[in-house]
Amino acid sequence: MALTNIPHINLLCMEERFIDAFQRALAQHWPETNTTPKPTITILNTSLRQVPSSTKFDLIVSPANSYGRLDGAFDDAISRVFCQPPKHEYNTLTEATQKVLYKQWRGFAPPGTCTLVPFPDELIGENEWGCRWVAICPTMRYPDRVTWDREIVYECVWSLLCQVEGWNRGCKKEKRIESILITPLATGVGKVSAAKWAAQFVLAMRHFVDALRRPQRWAALSWGDLTAEVEEVKTTWELKRDGGILGQMWPELDASWYPNSRTINVSFGLTSPQVKQL
């Protein structure tokens, strides 16, 4: 089974602790990644503004609120980077997003869902990465702590993969979403720990890949069939909050804060000094 409709994932981690947590989660929850089909992932240890122009992505993921306001934390960074005055108003993406959310959700996208929002025409071709979509993946109704929401990261990642894979199955080749950029979800304002985010991110990917590999199982699940997945995700519920500046806020304020940006290619079947086999 080919995973041709799952996009390449650029994982934007501004702190090392997220990279470490992701690598530990892979080792624990998906140790067979060296031998089984899997998504390809590039880890970018930098801020959004410093992502090199050589890195291309068709879609950026907003860990949004349910109302599509892209004006806080990483959503603010998205608006500042893609809607630069005087040519574009700061609220350009927010307005486009809220129109789509009203059409699909009457203005309120429940946490854990994913809504694909195309960039308005005026923003197409205006950024160096080729981005033309924003995926609205609310991790919360309103900016607040979401540690009470036990599986919000898993739900958002699953919904994201469903929407993008489904879009790629049905669209023309030139319209495909081949690459996306995503951050550690709900780890800023939401206060979800790096360990919990990473574990749920990896489990959602692994379970989704399994659903593509074994449609006969996932299209006819019994209660006995789904116990393994349920129990795996339950093990992440109590993973505690860890430290770090960005556990408290997302300071997308000054590129000088992150002068030593680097890229790690996580391509599980390859080995070289720049490619990590996990």
Per-residue pLDDT of the chain (278 residues; tens, 9 = 90+): 468 999 999 999 999 999 999 999 999 999 875 666 789 999 999 999 999 999 999 999 999 899 999 999 999 999 999 999 999 999 999 999 999 999 999 999 999 999 999 999 999 999 999 999 999 999 999 999 999 999 999 999 999 999 999 999 999 999 999 999 999 999 999 999 999 999 999 999 999 999 999 999 999 999 999 999 999 999 999 998 554 433 333 333 333 333 344 555 554 432 222 333 33
Nearest to 109 by CA among 100, 118, 120, 119: 100
Tens of pLDDT, residues 113-156: 999 999 999 999 999 999 999 999 999 999 999 999 999 999 99
Q: Domain coordinates of the chain in residue numbers? A: 8-266
User: Global pTM?
Assistant: 0.88
Query: Where is 9: in which H helix or E strand?
Result: strand 8-12
Q: What is the pLDDT of residue 105?
A: 99
- List all residues 6 or more positions away from 92 whose beta carbon is below 8 Å from its beta carbon: 79, 82, 83, 120, 122, 123
CA distance 155 to 32: 23
Q: What is the pLDDT of residue 254?
A: 35
| CATH entry, 8-266, from 1.10.3720.10, 3.40.220.10, 3.40.50.300, 3.40.50.620 | 3.40.220.10
| The two three-digit tokens of residue 36, written as one number | 């089984």
Residue 19 neighbours by CB distance under 10 Å: 22
CA distance 207 to 200: 10
Q: What is the pLDDT of residue 32?
A: 77
Q: What is the pLDDT of residue 240?
A: 82
Q: Is residue 119 within 8 Å of residue 136, measured between CB atoms?
A: no
